[in-house]
Amino acid sequence: MEIWINPACSKCRGAVRLLDAEGAEYTVRRYLEDVPSPEEIRAVLDRLGLEPWDITRTQEADAKELGLKEWPREAGSRERWISALAERPRLIQRPIITADDGTAVVARTDEAVREALGR
């Protein structure tokens, strides 16, 4: 199991605390420092069953600078969104847990963290 975190994020710290409390074995990826490639983002999206706009933090300054709210949310724009996430990882929703069974979850709640633990 791997968790993508930003240590400054309270939701990330809460997810790590819960994983620790449950005795889970996992690795931490500080994705702002160890930036995921477009291929890794595609793989996580496949595991999540989501599109890149579904995991984009549209309220971030970078999102406003890029005008992301105006970008089309359609198959033809998918790669543009993925490139933006790879170039500006602060836009990626967090935390994301990739579970041992090949799935993933955006773990912003305790329930989502427990869901990942149960996989």
CA dist., res. 97 & res. 105, Å (int) = 5
CA dist., res. 7 & res. 9, Å (int) = 5
Judged against a pLDDT cut of 80, whether residue 6 lies above it is answered with yes
Residues of the chain above pLDDT 90, percent: 95
DSSP code of residue 57: -
Residues of the chain above pLDDT 70, percent: 100
pTM: 0.93
CA dist., res. 114 & res. 57, Å (int) = 23
pLDDT of residue 119: 76
CA dist., res. 46 & res. 102, Å (int) = 10
Task: Give the model confidence (pLDDT) of 22-77 as tens digits.
Answer: 999 999 999 999 999 999 999 999 999 999 999 999 999 999 999 999 999 999 99
